[in-house]
Structure 1
Amino acid sequence: MEMKTVVLNSTVTISYNTSEFNISSYDKQYLVLNFHTKCICIARVLEQELRVKCNPMFPRLECEVFRVEGIKDEAGYINRITRATQHRNSLLADVRAYSPCADLVSEIRILLLGPVGSGKSSFFNSVKSIFQGHLTRQAIVGSDVTSITEQYRIYSIKDGKNGQSLPFMLCDSMGLDEEEGVGLCVDDIPHILKGCVPDRYEFSPQKPITPKHPTFITSPSLKDRIHCVAYVFDINSMDNLSPKMMAKLKQIQKEVINCGVAQVALLTKVNNCNEVLQDNFLKMNKAMISQSQIQNVNKILGIPLSRILVVENYASGRDMDPLKDILILSALKQMFRAVDDFLEDLLLE
């Protein structure tokens, strides 16, 4: 049987016949497998790279060869991912170094509000995953027609498994429903914004919390208050919000404005991170900004385009992605800036 050769790139080839399989370049062999002697020889440079020891006299009874698929080979892809990772690490350092304006509080609180299934809990899980270095699922998520989240949760996030808590908290709430008596009760929102609702409070759609509740916080301080509200929407459902839901959102926004709290919008479940960011990873593509979903948020809530943020949560899969991290960390930075504006106004008052 004649030798068959597969060229991997300009320097590396795979050759095989009935007696031998080898991977080599024009000047050296990396791996040779002899089928007759059942021996495998690995070059020293490859041993060091793979951290294995190979005895050429020791026979191998089995050998498996895998073809790795899914690695993009278009021009510039590896370079783009490398630059994305560098930018992601720069954003990570910025978030870690954040300190609230004028040291009025040591930690800021960001409230996640949005329709059922919009990705509020998934956003918290995604943020935590970035700082843990692996995917986490602390907050329960699901796709039920009713809200999976039934408690008010105030989540702190640690920098690493045993690291210090970062200077921000994400407050997860029950999902909004267009029907009255279902989902988060609008009358609960002023109490949440003022810091009167404790962690793990059990929501009741028909019965809002009152000062008579045994865990009601009667004299909340500035650190207990909400400093920024992030309205969370599934970008794929943004064009189909019902009139009832839009009316409820405007009602909620009035309460937020009355409390003087900063506001941003967070659009989740984008289809492709590559199509969102420009090549420099600093801004969204103009085509993305002009999409109807973003324009609708601007019209409904009056939130400036610079504070309408787009992310892709870690809702599925097992691996971390620097492009997803860039969108999530960039969203956090914009939330921090909104909070600083809010705190600066308090300082002036």
Structure 2
Amino acid sequence: MAVATRLTWRQEKKLQNYFGEKQFSLLYKASVHGFSTNSLLKICSEQGPTLTVVYSEDQIVGAYMQKNYGEGNYLITVFVFQEITITECKVGPFKLLMLFDEDYYGNREVSIHLNKKRMHFSINTVKKLGLSQRYISFQDCEVFRCEDLLDKRRMNGITELKESLLCAIRNYLPYGGLVNKIRILLLGPVGAGKSSFVNSVKSIFRGHVTNQALVGSNPTGTSEKNRTYFIKDAKDNNTLPFILCDSMGLSEKEGLDMDDIPYILEGLFPDRYQCNSLKLMPKGIGNHTGCPLLEDRVHCVAFVFNANSVEQLSNQMVKRIKRIRRELIKSDVVHVVLLTHVDTLDLITKADLIDIYKCVPVKLKLEAVHRKLGFALSDIFVVSNYTSEWELEPVIDVLILSALKEMLWAADDFLENLPLENTGRCA
């Protein structure tokens, strides 16, 4: 049976981030392994940096140690964790083993007496930590091994995964050879991150951060035209087998006209068409005569939402989105969700992006989208766009490429489900 920590997810994340984005592995738990210094040292020696945590009735107190037990004299970080506040002070230098020795005369700055379930502090340490007394009684004690979340081994794995995703997308061929390139339409509220996603995809395949698609927060969004972006691969200078279509932002009163959605899906509007200049007319626009090719139409729709504000979507906006979904279902167009700005959620760090779907705040956001808008959890993907970074980050790249791959696979489902008569010239 696995031994579990008493720390809540939020408490563990707070401590992990506080001590430099660490991963904790529980080594010792006094209530399981015994309130014995010998047991603790036997289990926790030669484990590298460790975090010792003791639990009193109303607070968490602990010590962070940057070396193995017994490796010379050096400073130890002692801390008090109350609610969301962490107070710390440095003690020592002394041997780590002395931390768990009986301090009969009370001269040491801090000591943990496992058998008595008490932690003692000097007067000076009490003042630095803001404690009310020189000792606390505790109910349990845990020791964690601390490792860097983004160590070399993990980063090598992320780089390998990125290369695998790049290879899969570069070699992707749309289902049945029915089209040369998949068209992915990005829909979402103003400021959700549609244009930033386009820039992020371009950046990955160019090998450096770029900002071709304008990004901003005008009342009706920066995109006032339908834009189609071919993505060029710097590896061979060829365009990739998909096109990203950026649309005017959705808003409650202005923005994209709901009546135009069917015509946009059918591919009746050309690149750079001014959405808000005149009422859109489905025929005679550009080179189209009302019978576009299958390759001109949209094969997959990605709804883009800001993870920080998706729960605050107004009832009117929710109705508009559900109306669009009904039109998509009517047209048999597959659709997914991209949740952007996931890296700015509370307590989320770049290291968390490695396994982001296991993070509690992200799980809550996915469930909120499912409840509010009705999307299946398996159709919701999280990404972190390039908005202020100067250099590419493999962890961010993997999230974006994973979402892109899923959208291409979804487009294949759309093509496979097309009636035979719709796979010819006219869509």
**Interval of TM-score (by shorter of Structure 1 and Structure 2):** 0.7 to 0.9
**In the alignment, which residue of structure 2 is the partner of 1:322?**
394
SS at 1:244 equivalent: helix
SS at 1:149 equivalent: coil
Which of residues 102, 107, 120 in structure 1 aligns to 2:181?
A: 107
Which of residues 201, 209, 215 in structure 1 aligns to 2:281?
A: 209
Q: Deviations over 1:83-110 (max 9, x none)?
A: 1111111111111111111111111100
Give the conservation status (yes or no) of the 8 Å contact 1:185–1:205: no
- Taking a change above 3 Å as real, the CA distance of residues 161 and 81 of structure 1, as seen in their structure-2 partners, is closer
- Taking a change above 3 Å as real, the CA distance of residues 302 and 217 of structure 1, as seen in their structure-2 partners, is farther
Displacement after TM superposition at 1:200 (Å): 0.8
**In the alignment, which residue of structure 2 is the partner of 1:160?**
234
Give matches, 1:1-349, under 5 Å.
74=148, 77-160=151-234, 163-179=237-253, 182-204=254-276, 207-211=279-283, 213=285, 217-271=289-343, 272-278=349-355, 284-285=357-358, 287=360, 290-291=363-364, 293-346=365-418
Out of 267-276 and 125-134, give the one that drifted further.
Answer: 267-276
SS at 1:328 equivalent: helix
Unaligned runs of 5+ in 2: 1-146, 344-348, 422-427
Give the conservation status (yes or no) of the 8 Å contact 2:268–2:282: no
Q: Distance in 2 between matches of 1:289 and 1:304?
A: 15
SS at 2:196 equivalent: helix
Q: Distance in 1 between matches of 2:150 and 2:263?
A: 51
Give the conservation status (yes or no) of the 8 Å contact 1:268–1:312: yes
SS at 2:366 equivalent: helix
Give the conservation status (yes or no) of the 8 Å contact 1:149–1:173: yes
Q: Deviations over 1:105-161 (max 9, x none)?
A: 111100000000000011000000000000111100013333111110111111117
Q: Distance in 2 between matches of 1:75 and 1:221?
A: 49
- Taking a change above 3 Å as real, the CA distance of residues 218 and 76 of structure 1, as seen in their structure-2 partners, is closer
Q: Distance in 2 between matches of 1:148 and 1:121?
A: 9
Give the conservation status (yes or no) of the 8 Å contact 1:230–1:264: yes
Counterpart amino acid of 2:152? I
Q: Distance in 2 between matches of 1:146 and 1:324?
A: 28
Percent of residue pairs identical: 47
Q: Distance in 1 between matches of 2:373 and 2:252?
A: 16
What's the Cα RMSD here?
A: 2.2
Counterpart amino acid of 1:275? D
Counterpart amino acid of 2:314? S
**In the alignment, which residue of structure 2 is the partner of 1:43?**
none
Q: Distance in 2 between matches of 1:75 and 1:166?
A: 33
Unaligned runs of 5+ in 1: 1-72
Displacement after TM superposition at 1:258 (Å): 1.3
- Taking a change above 3 Å as real, the CA distance of residues 239 and 205 of structure 1, as seen in their structure-2 partners, is farther
Displacement after TM superposition at 1:75 (Å): 7.0
TM-score by length of 1: 0.73
Displacement after TM superposition at 1:297 (Å): 2.0
Q: Deviations over 1:33-62 (max 9, x none)?
A: xxxxxxxxxxxxxxxxxxxxxxxxxxxxxx
Give the conservation status (yes or no) of the 8 Å contact 2:197–2:385: yes
Equivalences, count = 271
Counterpart amino acid of 2:183? R
Out of 236-245 and 338-347, give the one that drifted further.
Answer: 338-347
Q: Deviations over 1:152-177 (max 9, x none)?
A: 01111111176111100000000000
Give the conservation status (yes or no) of the 8 Å contact 1:277–1:285: no
Q: Distance in 1 between matches of 2:150 and 2:388?
A: 27
Displacement after TM superposition at 1:251 (Å): 1.1
SS at 2:292 equivalent: coil
- Taking a change above 3 Å as real, the CA distance of residues 109 and 214 of structure 1, as seen in their structure-2 partners, is closer
Work out which of the two has the higher radius of gyration on C-alpha atoms and give 1 or 2. Answer: 2
- Taking a change above 3 Å as real, the CA distance of residues 87 and 212 of structure 1, as seen in their structure-2 partners, is closer
Displacement after TM superposition at 1:259 (Å): 1.1
Counterpart amino acid of 2:264? I
